[in-house]
Amino acid sequence: MSSQVSQIPQYKGADSRRAGRRAVFGGIDLGTNNCRMLVGTPSGRGFQVLDSFSRVVRLGEGLYETGRLSPVAMDRAIASLSICAERAHRWAGDGEGGPLRLRAIATEACRQAENGAEFIRRARDATGLPLEIINPREEAELAVESCAPLLMRGGRRAVLFDIGGGSTEVAWVRVNGGVPELIGYLSLPVGVVTLSERCADICYSDSGFTRLVGDIVSLLRPFEAVHRIGEEIRRGGVLMVGTSGTVTTLAGVSLKLDRYRRGLVDGVSLTRRAVDAALMEARALGREGLSRHPCIGGERVDFVLPGCAIFAAIHELWQVPSLLVADRGLREGLLMRLIRAANTPQKRQYGYHS
């Protein structure tokens, strides 16, 4: 499917007046568990955030058992997408930058579901948003794009992973001081939602957790066999970057935060010893302790240890000395791509008008 970029028409609202004559861009990421939106305007080599939105929608709830998106889950997602559409219209303006340029994507839940395409059509009709399903490669590319400033801190190569609700993307990246380049990618069919539905209870026992980690390591080994990442790590100069709620939660645990603070987490480097200690602490807390933790809470508690099992497999197979934590994801990658495209002559323009 070709990328659909919506040119949202002007809405005469206060937020639009605040935006003034700046070009404004928006990205919406509908995942297996969350619906997220980000609106920004170019600033330096990045962007200034104007608005953001995030809501747990559990679009993939029950998908593992039925193979379909449930009516209730689809209703929750469309309700959140409708909020995003309304915010998009508020930010649209008629200044020199033109209308708001926006892209809306859906990922693994819609790729897997028998009725994924049907849901996308319904969501587009209900909200006017140019929602589209992207493939795993583009998902990995967007994760790399969002983390580019962190990747360029140093090193020859980087392993970047994004533990999502329905899948986990792993990217093997060439850096060498320039623009990060994707060498290879892997999309594992396991995420925090799918694992929580399949085997959440076994994560609370040592034997069950260890067995699950081993199963995930076996899924990673073919990728390792092709790219020989372990050998590159032994040579030195390989970064490991993690971007997901699992990794930011472990960072919050490691830093002993009394509440989650993005400014203290995004870009922090944790030693391997600190990561191991955070994993042990999270597992020792148990379900009750995790639900009371200020960086977790009851809404996310069921996803913590499944995510930790996925991370522990990556951490075990690729033993990089430290972990760089990124509190950023696909919506940031969408904005960076849209801004770059706006500054690059295009041979062909894809448009969608609400």
Gap between the Cα atoms of 153 and 213, Å rounded: 30
Res. 350: pLDDT tops 90: no
Percent of the chain topping pLDDT 70: 89
Q: What is the tally of helices (H) and strands (E) in the chain? A: 15, 12
Q: By the 8 A CB rule, do 306 and 313 touch?
A: no
Query: What per-residue confidence (pLDDT) applies to 6?
Result: 64
Query: Is residue 232 within a helix (H) or strand (E), and if so which, with residue range?
Result: helix 229-235
Query: Helix 272-292 vs helix 301-317: angle between axes, to the nearest 10 degrees?
Result: 170
Q: Which amino acid is at 235?
A: R
Mean pLDDT of the chain: 88
The tens digit of pLDDT for each residue in 49-104 reads 999 999 999 999 999 889 999 999 999 999 999 999 999 988 885 444 457 899 99
pTM over 0.75: yes
Res. 353: pLDDT tops 80: no
Q: How confident is the model at residue 284 (pLDDT cuts 50, 70, 90)?
A: very high
Residue with tokens 């972990």: 323
The tens digit of pLDDT for each residue in 6-32 reads 666 544 444 444 445 678 999 999 999
Query: What per-residue confidence (pLDDT) applies to 301?
Result: 84
Query: What per-residue confidence (pLDDT) applies to 87?
Result: 93
Least confident of 15-19, 126-130, 184-188, 342-346: 15-19
